[in-house]
Chains A and B, each alone.
Chain A
Amino acid sequence: MVPTSMYLMLSMILFVIGAIGVIVRKNAIVMFMCIELMLNAVNISFVAFSRHHSNLDGQIGVFIVMVVAAAEAAVGLALIISLFRSYRDVNTADANMLKL
């Protein structure tokens, strides 16, 4: 059986890749995809802990996270389209009207 710590290591590396993606990319759609990567990293560790403790509660958590991700996809993509309407681009560096 694969030890839980290996799943946690995989989950951590995936989360860091997602976080770095949000930092280095400027395209709003790719940033959105990196958030999905981070959510998936958390889901992996949820399921790993659920298996580790022989308890299904963690998998219910993954189910709720998936619901939130679907809702986020709908609202986030609507926001990106709205951003594109105002700036004719999805570059987040352009949206700086609230910047001091």
Chain B
Amino acid sequence: MELVFFYILSFLILSSALAVILLPNPIHSTLSLIVTLVSVAGMFALMEAHFLATVQVIVYAGAVVVLVLFVVMLLNAKNEEIQRKPVAIFFSTLSAVVLFSIMFPLFNEQFGPSRQINPADKQIQGTATALGDLLYTQFTFPFEVASLLIMAALVGAVMVGRSRREDIDHLLADTEGEIQSVVNTDNTEIQSESA
């Protein structure tokens, strides 16, 4: 039964990930990214990481993707041709081959000590209680550093994303020019009508 769910979720993850990189329209890419992230959340649930599955849905599928979708629609991104240059194809193949050859020794099932070898170990459950217990005792320092990182990223995002004075002046000059040209054409139309 677990294997059936694994195959269904793998199929969803891989097909929607391919859709993300192959669809020319960025909005379609973003929507397939939602499918990928929710399926990854299902995969976490399959591996008994319940808390992470919840956080995956809330943070990734909820917050990050909405932010991306917002930016895609704000910037009105156009369709895009996928690169088919030989360089791009070469580096794609190279990355696939290198990663596969690095990971290949891990694909036989007898690596490392696992809980199958020691059945006395009870199955772990990634619940909020278990994770919180670790996070506030053994991993307090990384947790605090992560919160500091979020703070710095927020300030940085505001600094990078804010509009500068000259940009606004530039935009205003553009719109004033347009208004002036509209007024001019109106005037000439009125003059031609009266003549």
Contacts and interface: CB of A to CB of B under 8 A. Distances in A.
B112 A53 contact: yes
A3 B6 CA distance: 11
A90 B75 contact: yes
Interface size class of B (residues with CB under 8 A): 35 or more
Contact of B109 (A5, A32, A90): A5
A39 to B, nearest CB: 9
A2 B1 CA distance: 10
Given A2-B3, A30-B29, A37-B20, A75 B75 contact: no
Q: Which of A30, A44, A51 has the most CB of B within 10 A?
A: A30
Interface string A22-50: 01111101101110110010011001101
Contacts, number: 229
Nearest to B125: A56
B21 A34 contact: yes
Instruction: Give the contact-size bracket for chain A.
Output: 35 or more
Interface in B110-151: 111-116, 121-124, 126, 130-131, 134-135, 139, 142, 146-147, 149-150
Contact of B75 (A23, A54, A78, A81): A81
A60 B133 CA distance: 11
B95 A20 contact: yes
A29 B100 CA distance: 27
A47 B52 contact: yes
A82 B14 contact: no
A6 interface: yes
Interface centre among B55, B92, B99 (most CB of A within 10 A): B92
27 contacts: A5-B106, A6-B6, A8-B107, A9-B103, A10-B10, A10-B13, A20-B92, A23-B92, A24-B82, A25-B21, A25-B83, A26-B80, A29-B71, A33-B68, A37-B20, A37-B33, A37-B36, A55-B124, A56-B126, A60-B134, A62-B49, A66-B56, A67-B146, A75-B157, A77-B71, A78-B161, A91-B80
Interface of B: 2-3, 6, 10, 13-14, 17-18, 20-21, 26, 29-30, 33, 36-37, 40, 43-44, 46-49, 51-52, 55-56, 59-60, 63-64, 67-68, 71-72, 74-75, 77, 80, 82-84, 88, 91-92, 95-96, 99-100, 103, 106-109, 111-116, 121-124, 126, 130-131, 134-135, 139, 142, 146-147, 149-150, 152-154, 156-158, 160-161, 163, 167
Given A9-B103, A70-B150, 20 more contacts: A2-B46, A10-B43, A12-B100, A14-B14, A17-B20, A21-B20, A25-B80, A40-B40, A43-B56, A44-B40, A52-B115, A54-B122, A56-B124, A66-B55, A71-B149, A71-B153, A78-B156, A79-B160, A80-B71, A85-B167
